[in-house]
Homo-oligomer: A and B are copies of this chain.
Amino acid sequence: MRPTFARESVPTLTPAASLVFTTLLSHGPLTRAEVGRRTKLSPAAVTKAVRPLMELGYLVEGADEEARPAVGRPANLVSVDAGRALFIGVKVTGDEIIAVLADLCCRIRVSRHVALTGREPQAVLPAITALVQELLIEAVGFGVQVRGLGIAISGDVDRANGLVRYSPFLEWRDVPLAELAGTATGLPVTVDNDVRALTVAEHWFGAGVGLSDFALVTVGAGIGCGLVVHGRVVSGAHGVAGEIGHLSLDPRGPLCHCGNRGCVEAIAADPAILRAVSAATGRQLTDPAEALDLAHGGDPGARAVYARAGEAIGRAIASLVNLLGPERVVISGEGLAAYDLFAEGIRDAFAASAFGTASQCDVMTRPLPFEEWARGAAATAIQSFMGSDTYEEQP
């Protein structure tokens, strides 16, 4: 699973140790006994898994004295020492690069971004390298080593081989990005699709903690979706999955750039909304914020556009839920700014289209600021570092 060119990470963890570590990462400080219960490992196994990790400093004891149950020997809380290692996460978009320095608990310590001057690998790679160097210098101030670099890119990415197969925004094909960035920065590099990376972060540290089946839907310039099934992120046999933006919802709907009609993205993504609000109000809008202002100002045409978009998103989520039956769906993305306008449409359409018990699925929203994508990249680096690529949680 890990690319062959990965530098040395933690002295290879046994499966149990990896499980214990990941459990502690997601579920805050826990007593050893509690870890044992959750992972279905024996208490002895937990003790033995914890010790070496503690000697290496990745785990620490007694974070804060909890209100413990009144009786019995008091428990010692174990938790991950967030400051023990640093990771860099980089998100590459069509016109800028965002990078964050994150600690072992994937909390953002420093955040940077630069505009892109070109989209060819020859332009992007130096930009990434420069930004990483900046963060490496910042990292010196923390007195801890940076142990990995994660890069998130939209498109078809082969994480196992560190290869960007095809990225429409950047117009890249078969770029061995992990190797290139690895030699340029000297760090172990993990490359993954951006939505999948964000999903990993959400699965470990966000609203997906403890769930083995959940989905993350991002609404904004495009509409994307990351899926976790059986406790693992879905990649698809051909490297592409979660293309919720191109579910076809209406054979008579607007034409989508993919050539089909009635895609969610052709109804509810920013450009589509912009176009529809322009048409409805007769103005020439150029920025999604203008459309949003119009709608918030009460313009009925604009509001109707947002209502339609919300309905499309709701129906798309219902499709997803009908197929996979996840426990929870998280809606996020820049489009969340318009959530008050979407909300009713999403709720009603979801309720109407979700079938049977699928409607019990918890649909929630969660604002994920733009650094969050880079944080997702850092999370993939942590995954690789800890060798928990194939981590699967017990119920």
Give A residues with C-beta under 8 Å from B. 156, 166, 211-213, 225, 227, 229-230, 232, 234-244, 246-252, 258-260, 315, 318-320, 322-327, 352-353, 355-358, 360-361
Say how far A153's CB is from chain B's closest CB, in angstroms.
15
Contact flag A318-B239 (CB < 8 Å), given A229-B234, A323-B227: no
Measured in the bound complex, the distance between the Cα atoms of B166 and A236 in whole Å is 31
Say how far A76's CB is from chain B's closest CB, in angstroms.
32
Contacts of A352 in B (CB 8 A): 248, 259-260
| Interchain CB contact (< 8 A) of A247 among B225, B227, B322, B326 | B322
Q: Nearest residue in B to A239 (C-beta to C-beta)?
A: B357
Say how far A182's CB is from chain B's closest CB, in angstroms.
24
Say how far A205's CB is from chain B's closest CB, in angstroms.
20
Contacts of A249 in B (CB 8 A): 248-251
Measured in the bound complex, the distance between the Cα atoms of B106 and A16 in whole Å is 36
Q: State the main secondary structure of chain A at its contact with B.
A: loop
Instruction: Tell me if A324 and B357 are in contact (CB < 8 A).
Output: no
Instruction: Tell me if B358 and A240 are in contact (CB < 8 A).
Output: yes
Contacts of A258 in B (CB 8 A): 355
Contacts of A320 in B (CB 8 A): 323
| Interchain CB contact (< 8 A) of A230 among B232, B319, B356, B357 | B232
Instruction: Tell me if B244 and A323 are in contact (CB < 8 A).
Output: yes
Instruction: Tell me if A240 and B355 are in contact (CB < 8 A).
Output: yes
Contact flag A227-B259 (CB < 8 Å), given A238-B361, A248-B249, A356-B240: no
| Interchain CB contact (< 8 A) of A229 among B230, B238, B246 | B230
Contact flag A322-B246 (CB < 8 Å), given A230-B230, A260-B353, A352-B260: yes
Contacts of A353 in B (CB 8 A): 246, 248, 260
Instruction: Tell me if B248 and A319 are in contact (CB < 8 A).
Output: yes
Given contacts A236-B325, A241-B324, 16 further A-B contacts (CB under 8 A): A156-B357, A213-B237, A225-B323, A237-B325, A237-B326, A238-B327, A238-B357, A239-B325, A240-B358, A243-B325, A244-B323, A247-B319, A248-B318, A249-B251, A260-B353, A320-B323
Say how far A113's CB is from chain B's closest CB, in angstroms.
28
Contacts of A237 in B (CB 8 A): 211-213, 325-327, 361
Q: What are 26 A-B contacts with C-beta separation under 8 Å? A: A212-B237, A229-B230, A229-B234, A230-B230, A236-B324, A236-B326, A236-B358, A238-B325, A238-B361, A239-B357, A240-B356, A240-B358, A241-B324, A243-B322, A243-B358, A244-B323, A247-B322, A248-B315, A248-B318, A248-B353, A249-B249, A249-B250, A251-B315, A260-B352, A260-B353, A320-B323
